[in-house]
Structure 1
Amino acid sequence: MNAALRETLTPARRPCGSLSVRVMGERAVLRCSGALWLPAHGTLVAADLHLEKGSAFAARGQMLPPYDSRATLAKLEAEIADLAPARVVLLGDSFHDSRSIGRMAEDDRDRLDRLADSRDWVWLEGNHDREALVQADATAVARLPGRVVGDMALGALFLTHEPMPDGPAGEVAGHLHPSACVVAHARRVRRPCFVTDGRRLILPAFGAFTGGLNVRDPAIAGLFTEPPMAAALGKDRVHALAWADLV
């Protein structure tokens, strides 16, 4: 296993130098993990876990180590241990496809149940996992902990999966897997990132095997009328980056 993949699958535990911003007046703490902490609401938010992506690729003959769900849930477990949220909201595409739940290892399912125990656990429907969540909600054998919703309001914020050009003020979304690219020491550095202009916020993908889309791509840049700030994930801090510094 190469070094980059090993680090992804066995992330080191470090204190997080989070970045605190305001979105429509609501304090939003951007975590090194890519999760969002909303202290006024006791709510932890994460987007695009894509659980069982590795097993989905394996089923199509492209072999990846089958440990992405384990690594992603371990990262989520660490955030829950640090913050003790009353509520966890997952912003859609928590599962990679409609059959992901059935492919999960028993210990991963057990860990998921433990994480959700005694807290409000909310699954938002995403384009990858809408069918899986509906099936899980309706079938006792595959039932997931928590509840499934399309989107939800939380104070001045509106939590949804896919950001829309005409989305409401306070929109908090995932789906696009934003990443920031800068040139440092004569080389390009690319990192997952948050993107916000204080009116809306897009979260990076939380999952271990998720890629990224450059924030300068029109699919992301076109959502903002003014240049937003990118907040790139470092190993032990979140770095605020001016739009003009991005490539």
Structure 2
Amino acid sequence: MNGYDFTLAGARVTALPSGGLWWADARLLAVSDLHLGKSERMARRGGALLPPYDTAETLSRLEDDIAATAPATVICLGDSFDDDTAARALPDWAATRLTALMAGRRWIWITGNHDPGPTGLAGTHLAEAREGPLTFRHIADPDAPLPGEVSGHYHPKTCLTLRGRRITRRCLLTDGQRAILPAYGAYTGGLACTAPVLDALMGPRAVAILLGTPPVPVPMRV
């Protein structure tokens, strides 16, 4: 598997090229901020018209990760849908693909700030979930007991210069105490990992794991 292994609260986990987090010993896959239905929501609210392919692309990414890892548990760390209306307006073809992915495994939907209500889909809906030494929630809690927090929400990204070119890459942040996952969905923006809110959450030795094949760790503060 083309991932980057690291230790979080004693658990050996893997940052996947997609932005997912794989915990092999628990057979658990965590993904965050799918934002399914983003193009539909933007069109509905009079925003920019985006090609309506984000849901299909995001689900294809999820299908690939599930095929590669065969998880017993999938945890979606909130903002799985761009809003409650997008969840209710999920096309039949997308609902069918999601149902197929959920079959035969435990599926946990963590409440996000974009999708606070029930989605009408199967699975378990929780504010947060505890699995072994890890706690999964949507937004990092600066007062949470550590180590072992896994969250999303901020869509971290980093900017760096490569061969004279300035590029932006989605990244997973970790300092061994907590991990903040990047947005998994297509058409999602990001927050620079130098932002004060992220700087305050992460310890002095935090790394940004740049998404790609394979993912590459760099110091978060460069």
Query: In which range does the TM-score fall when normalised by the shorter chain?
Result: over 0.9
Q: Could you tell me whether the CA contact under 8 Å between 1:24 and 1:156 is conserved in 2?
A: yes
- Identity of matched residues, %: 39
Letter in 2 for 1:79: D
2:129 maps to 152
> C-alpha displacement at 1:164, in angstroms?
1.6
CA distance in 2, matches of 1:60, 1:150: 27
Alignment counterpart, residue 112 of structure 1, candidates 81, 90, 98: 98
Alignment counterpart, residue 21 of structure 2, candidates 31, 36, 43: 36
Q: Which has the higher helix share?
A: 1
SS for the counterpart of 1:130 is: coil
CA distance in 2, matches of 1:196, 1:162: 14
> C-alpha displacement at 1:60, in angstroms?
2.1
Letter in 2 for 1:56: R
Normalising to structure 2: TM-score of the pair? 0.96
Deviations 1:167-221 (A, max 9, x none): 2211000000001111112221110000001011000000001111110101111
Q: Does 1:221 align with 2:199?
A: yes
1:238 maps to 215
Letter in 2 for 1:47: S
Q: Could you tell me whether the CA contact under 8 Å between 1:97 and 1:129 is conserved in 2?
A: yes
CA distance in 2, matches of 1:192, 1:113: 28
Q: Which has the higher strand share?
A: 2
1:22 maps to 7
CA distance in 2, matches of 1:225, 1:18: 23
CA distance in 2, matches of 1:151, 1:42: 18
SS for the counterpart of 1:201 is: strand
State the superposition RMSD in angstroms: 1.1
2:60 maps to 74
Q: Could you tell me whether the CA contact under 8 Å between 2:2 and 2:215 is conserved in 1?
A: yes
Extract unaligned runs of 5+ from structure 1: 1-15, 137-142
Extract unaligned runs of 5+ from structure 2: none
> C-alpha displacement at 1:165, in angstroms?
1.4
Deviations 1:213-239 (A, max 9, x none): 1101011111123231110002x2101
Deviating runs (4+, > 2 A) in structure 1? none
1:183 maps to 161
Q: Could you tell me whether the CA contact under 8 Å between 1:158 and 1:168 is conserved in 2?
A: no
